[in-house]
Amino acid sequence: MTTHFITAEIDLQATPNELHQEIEAELTKRGEPLRWAVTSVDEEQKTATVDAIVTQS
């Protein structure tokens, strides 16, 4: 098992629940998310930057 630090750009969603689901789905494509945080929001582009630690087998 290895851990990786990744940064993902996520489109902002209409509700917080949708945003949470979108973040989890994007991170799961890259491994099993251990922890993540929204580190910045670009209101003009309507995106959020997420920094995460994921594990891969």
CB 10 within 8 A of CB 19: yes
pLDDT at position 50: 97
Q: In this predicted model, what pLDDT tens digit does every residue of 27-52 receive, in sequence order?
A: 999 999 999 999 999 999 999 999 99
- The residue among 36, 51, 53 whose CA lies nearest residue 1 is 53
CB 54 within 8 A of CB 1: no
CB 5 within 8 A of CB 53: yes
Structure token pair of residue 55? 């594990």
pLDDT at position 9: 95
Its domain, for residue 34, covers 2-56
Q: How confident is the model at residue 54 (pLDDT cuts 50, 70, 90)?
A: very high
pLDDT at position 39: 97
Distance CA 13, CA 45 (A): 12
pLDDT at position 29: 95
pLDDT at position 14: 85
Look at the chain and report how many structural domains it folds into.
1
